Amino acid sequence: MKNKAFTLVELLIVVVIIGILATFVVLALGSATKRTRDARAKRSIESVRDAVEQYMAAVEDADLTSAFGSATLEVKPGESFDSILKSSGATGFSSVPTDAKGNPIRFRALTTTTYRIEGQTSGSTSATKRCWAVYFSGSLKNNFDTSGGGCTI
C-alpha cells in the first residue's frame, strides 16, 4: 500500500515559497505606507499655504513680518500663528498639520510678502531624507522643493 503523505522536502519547499511571497507583500505595504505619509504631509503644507493666502487676501497691504514676526512658528491650533489667521477671518486649524515624521508644519515670514512653509518627508537616510518647502515670492507660489537635505527653518 502506497503512503499518500507529503515528504519533508515538499513541505519545506512550500514554506520557503510562502515566506518569499510574504516578504514581497511586507515590502510593498511598507512602501505604500511611506507614500501615504508623504502625501498627507504635502496636503498639510498646502493647507497652511492656503490659510496664509486667505490671510493675505483678507488683510489689505498685509505685512507678514509685522503680523507673524521673523521667528519660525509651528502651526498649532490656538497658538500665535493660528490666532493671527483667525483674527483676519481666514480659516484656522482644528488639528495640528504634521509632516511625514509627525512634527508640526513650520512657517516663517521671510519679508513683508514672502514666506516659507516646510515639513520633512518620510525618508530615513541622508539620501532620502528631504524637506518639502513652499515659498511664496512672486511666481514661485506653488514651488515644492525636495532637492535639498534637511529642513532649513
Predicted confidence at residue 22, as pLDDT, reads 94
| Cα angle for residues 141, 47, 145 (degrees, 5° grid) | 45
**Is 134 in a helix, a strand, or coil?**
strand
The whole-number mean pLDDT for each consecutive block of 10 residues of the chain, a chain of 153 residues, reads 81 95 88 84 85 84 85 85 82 82 87 84 64 62 51 62
110: Cβ–Cβ under 8 A, 6 or more apart, which residues? 64, 65, 70, 116, 137
pTM for the predicted model, two decimal places: 0.70
Place of cell 510562502: 18
Contact by Cβ (8 Å): 120, 130: yes
